Amino acid sequence: MEAQAAVNWMLSRLVAEGCIYQDDVVDHLVKNHFASLLRENSDGNLVVGPKLLKAFKSATETTVVWVKPDFYWRWRVAEDEPGREARG
Q: Classify 63 as helix, strand or coil.
A: coil
Q: Confirm if 74 and 65 have CB atoms less than 8 A apart.
A: yes
pTM: 0.93
Count of helix runs (H) and strand runs (E) in the chain: 3, 6
Residues 6+ apart with CB under 8 A from 27: none
Question: With bands split at pLDDT 50, 70 and 90, how would you rate the model's confidence at 87?
Answer: confident
Write down the mean pLDDT value for the chain: 96
pLDDT for 6 equals: 97
Residues 8-41 have pLDDT tens digits of: 999 999 999 999 999 999 999 999 999 999 999 9
- Residue extents of the structural domains in the chain: 2-62
